Amino acid sequence: MKKIPVWIDTDTGVDDAVALIVASKLDEIDLAGVSAVAGNTSLENAFRNARDVLSLVGRSDVKVYHGADRPLVIDLHTAEYVHGSNGLGGAKIPLSDAPIQTENAWDALYEAAKKYKGELVVCPVGPLTNIAIAIAKHPDIVGMIKELNVMGGALIGGNVTPCSEFNIHTDPHGAETVMKSGIHVNLFGLDVTHKAYLDDDDIDAIASFDNPVARLFVDSNHLLYDAREKLHWKGVCEHDSCPVIYTARPDWFKGHDCGIYVETQGTITFGKTVSDLWTDFKFEDRHCTAFLDVDRKKFASKIIDTYRSF
């Protein structure tokens, strides 16, 4: 089976770590590179966490590049209330001894896109700042990336405001650049990621595995457990694993082609992903597939099996 080359751009928080861990073990993909972006936590934390998580799972071979330390236009607002002060919920893991990559994210991504000649799939699971910079600095990258499998946005609702999701709200200008670039975007917004959760039995299963990777899951998710109680979630949503697992198993997800624009001028609506999916009115640029459903059992089993394997 020919492996799919995949690049992950991440603001390495708690659920980002799960996505990196799952990606490191998926047979269907070749993890071509990782880039860090400020979002959940500082760029410094996101860069270190990505390196350390990959080393923890024996993938120090995957190079990690540092990207933007702030959004394109607005100030950075991180999410310590969910991801803790170090980005991993306070969990401590050994520091990676992999060589430090000095090339920046957008140039490294461009080189990877050229290397894979149109086959590279990029999974941004944080604010879209790095991807927007890569498009602005290297416009020909648009024809070299096969698709962007993005965790972000929400056709209905939001988690930072009633109508805006964290990754988009953190850098709506970056998101607008990406949505209008012409690269096809498979969008995994809250509409589907709120269905992509680990329930109590799933969490108990992972907690029962006696290995350092499963212990990282338990030690890093306590703030999300608390949030779950307060927000009456059915479980712990693994937002960032959606685009990654979709890349390997697209049959587990259901999406609908549409146009999506990002609101960058509004006040109440600032950072909203506006879709023409359900209207007769259609946007001029229609380069998106919005995913609304997932086979949760298969999704959760894949994550559990990954954590069992260490």
The piece of 25-33, 46-54, 158-166, 226-234 that touches ligand RIB (CB under 6 A) is 158-166
| 15 near ligand RIB, judged by CB under 6 A | yes
The piece of 8-16, 27-35, 113-121, 293-301 that touches ligand RIB (CB under 6 A) is 8-16
> Out of 5, 7, 14, 16, which residue is the one contacting Ca ion (CB under 5 A)?
16
| 125 near ligand RIB, judged by CB under 6 A | yes
Spatial separation of the C-alpha atoms in residues 24 and 14, rounded to whole Å: 16
- Nearer Cβ to ligand RIB, position 5 or 126? 126
| 125 near Ca ion, judged by CB under 5 A | yes
- Nearer Cβ to ligand RIB, position 80 or 107? 80
Query: Which two structure tokens, joined as six digits, stand for 21?
Result: 């861990």
Which of the residues are catalytic? Answer: 239
CB 122 within 8 A of CB 149: yes
CB of 13 to Ca ion, least distance (A): 5
- Strand (E) or helix (H) holding 256: strand 253-258
CB 176 within 8 A of CB 285: no
In the chain the first and final C-alpha atoms are separated, in Å, by 23
Provide DSSP, 262-291: E-SS-STTTT-EEE-TTSS---S---EEEE
| 238 near ligand RIB, judged by CB under 6 A | no
Strands 185-188 and 145-151: parallel
- Nearer Cβ to ligand RIB, position 116 or 164? 164
The piece of 103-111, 237-245, 257-265, 275-283 that touches Ca ion (CB under 5 A) is 237-245
Q: Which residues of 104-116 are buried (b: 16+ CB within 10 A; e: fewer)?
A: bbbebbbebbeeb
Spatial separation of the C-alpha atoms in residues 237 and 233, rounded to whole Å: 8
CB 32 within 8 A of CB 149: no
CB of 29 to ligand RIB, least distance (A): 19
Pick the closest to residue 31 from 19, 39, 47, 43 (CA basis): 19
CB 176 within 8 A of CB 261: yes
The piece of 9-17, 175-183, 228-236, 280-288 that touches ligand RIB (CB under 6 A) is 9-17
CB of 163 to ligand RIB, least distance (A): 13
CB 80 within 8 A of CB 88: no
| 166 near ligand RIB, judged by CB under 6 A | yes
Burial class (CB in 10 A: 0-12, 13-18, 19+), 12: buried
Binders of Ca ion in range 26-85 (CB under 5 A): none
- Nearer Cβ to ligand RIB, position 24 or 144? 24
185 binds, among Ca ion, ligand RIB, none (CB under 5 to 8 A by kind): none
Binders of ligand RIB in range 138-157 (CB under 6 A): 151
| 35 near ligand RIB, judged by CB under 6 A | no
Q: What residues make contact with Ca ion under the rule CB under 5 A?
A: 11, 16, 125-126, 240
Q: Which positions lie near ligand RIB, rule CB under 6 A?
A: 11, 13, 15-16, 39-40, 125-126, 151, 159, 165-167, 239-240
